[in-house]
Amino acid sequence: MALKISLKEYKRVDLLAVDGRIDSSTAPQLDKALQKIIDAGRFRIVVDLSDAAFMSSAGLRALLSALKQVRRFNRGDLRLAGVSPKVKKAFELAGLLVVFQVFDNSVDAVGSF
């Protein structure tokens, strides 16, 4: 099943909301959406995972790849919002909770920039 991805462009931040399962089938969609933002020269990104039902290592790879790109030259950051306990476990296992800044909701995450 395809991932539903919606993008809101704020003046300083792009908010990407993801709805569905993020696995090896759908992670390329997430990767593409993040890459499009980065290619447009926008490096402050919030990924809202409130409606992400599942996260596999393929999803983590897409987020980690984008994070590395936006943090290059201190030009930006990728921050996460609305991470459910189920999705959080994947980040914990991979040791990525110390790498990403995580916020309870997208308003706080957008406001943090």
Partner 1 sequence: MSQKYSLSVSSQFERLAEIADFVADAACACGLNEDQVCDAQMAVDEACTNVIEHAYRGKPDGTIHIVCERRGKEFLVTIQDFGARFDPNKVQPPKTGDPLSKRRIGGLGLFFMRKLMDRVEFDFSSGPGNRLTMAKKIKR
98, with CB counted inside 10 A (0-12, 13-18, 19+), is exposed
> Is residue 54 within 8 Å of residue 21, measured between CB atoms?
yes
The rounded distance, in Å, linking the Cα atoms of 17 and 30 is 10
Helix (H, G, I), strand (E, B) or coil at 103: strand
**Comparison of 18 and 60: residue with beta carbon closer to partner 1:** 60
Residues of this chain, 8-47, that bind partner 1 according to CB under 8 A: 21, 23-25
**Comparison of 41 and 95: residue with beta carbon closer to partner 1:** 95
Residues of this chain, 44-63, that bind partner 1 according to CB under 8 A: 54, 56-58, 60-61
* Residues near partner 1 (CB under 8 A): 1, 21, 23-25, 54, 56-58, 60-61, 64-65, 67-68, 71, 86, 89-90, 93-96, 99
